[in-house]
Amino acid sequence: MKELRRIVICCVIFTKLHECQGANLSFPENFIIGAATASYQIEGAWNVSDKGENVWDWFTHNKPENIADGSTGDVACDSYHKYEEDVQWVKNLGLDFYRFSVSWSRVLPNGFANEVSEDGIQYYKNLTTLLVANGIEPIVTIYHWDHPQILEDLGGWTNELMVEWYTDYARILFEELGPMVKTFITINEPKVYCEQGYNSTTKKAPGKILENMGHYLCVHNTLKAHATAYHLYDDEFRAIQEGQIGIVTPCAGWVPGDNVTEESIERHFQFDCGWIMHPIYVGDYPEIVKTRVAYVSALENYPFSRLPEFSQDWIEYINGTADFFGLNHYTSSMPIFDTAEELGIYTRDSGIIKNTNSSWSAGSSSWLYVLPEGFGNVLRMIRDQYNNPPLYVFENGYSDTGELEDYRRINYYYEYVSEMLTAINDDGCNVVAYTIWSLLDNFEWNAGYTELFGIISVDFNSSNRTRSAKLSTSWWQEVISTRTLQDVPSNGTRR
């Protein structure tokens, strides 16, 4: 009788079926929770000391029409000067780790390793030292989209020499920060900056369209750079520093819908997630990606596939270069095959259309639909495709316009984290960490300051860039202190 009463009360309070069935909303033992930021989005100080110009400095200064509000990251959150306050926020939240990225042009002003900025490297040493002193694990992203402009003038990620230039840069960070850092991320989201930076003039720096193949060259060289840095760490630093290293990719999810099939889901996954991770976990690009790009390239009368080929040596060299699966996840869609192809019209290499539904709840970002079911689908697919590797969720978050009473953000976190815990506890997914995106409201790339993801508010109209708590700040404090997912505050409503 008592058990029946408990279930009835649970079903009255909660709306989700698995909650009514007594879902475990506690985090597993040794599970870690952190928050993330990126250098260009928060640091500001764009021309302080001897820092060089990076591609986002150039892009925002020369193409302001591509930023929703015409803004820049010149000051952003001013974390270059306010990092001590940021660390205090991290500590007060009770977070286990803080993921931040290093600005390549702050450390190497001219892009190359022949000139290292003492001020630049000292900034990151100070930040890392302060985190460690406060019991917070630093997780360092070596590259988060802001390479030096001089390297872009030389071709950027379409130039294979970037592999060498990037590795020289990574070596410096291993040497200078490695003694205090146990987790390095080589590169954040190659798919995004390659597709939107080298196959679009408006979305991301450097803003180029290169014959519908620049993004493929970019990913090709990025994977080589990642693998080379991984082997460098493995050969020269791992034994001494005893750390781990991997890459981070975004993987969008999927939900059921008309004409969504197992085949369309599989192709969607391979073009979205497998394009980056298949070479690392299996070897070479997914077969469907190679076949489709070659086929569409032939239809366009190219005498070659726009997707470059890896030599067998590179296939073997890249395969296995990850100590963990780094995942960023925000949203999902209903992937279906493009029926125009039945008429001989080919408009996309994948042949997949990502359908959405106007009835879905969404954030202030036009692309961010709240579909937690898709998160679980991605986690299970990664489990099955890649032999259930240790998985770090390195970004997950919700955009609004800066509300302090951010009930919708809390609702998003509740539903997505609940879905993740179900994938862990019921489906055996090997998720070991979760990262809030983002610690701070910040410069959101081509959206400028019109879309804000932070659990801490930043007043961008204040010269001091004043920080203040949101409702989600205290909600996360409670979640972290109890290691249990807390319900949405009473004024908030679930979808």
- Which residues does the annotation mark as catalytic? 189, 395
Give SS3 for 90. helix
Residue with tokens 């869609």: 333
Q: How far apart are CA 103 and CA 73, in angstroms?
A: 13
Per-residue 3-state assignment (H helix, E strand, C coil) for 304-343: CCCCCCCCHHHHHHHCCCCCCEEEECCCEEEEEECHHHHH
Angle at 218 between CA 346 and CA 46, to 5 degrees: 125
| Half-sphere exposure for 456 (CA within 13 Å, toward CB) | 22
Residues near 235 by Cβ (< 8 Å), separated by ≥ 6?
Answer: none
Q: How far apart are CA 421 and CA 19, in angstroms?
A: 11
Q: Where are the beta strands (DSSP E) in 49-192?
A: 97-101, 137-143, 183-188
Q: How far apart are CA 482 and CA 472, in angstroms?
A: 15
Q: How far apart are CA 274 and CA 39, in angstroms?
A: 27
Q: Which residue from 394, 359, 397 is spatially nearest to 255, judged by alpha carbons?
A: 359
Per the document, the length of the chain is 495
Angle at 84 between CA 83 and CA 85, to 5 degrees: 90
Angle at 269 between CA 267 and CA 272, to 5 degrees: 105
Burial state string for 203-236 with b = 16 or more CB within 10 A and e = fewer than 16: ebbbbbeeebbbbbbbbbbbbbbbbbbbbbbeee
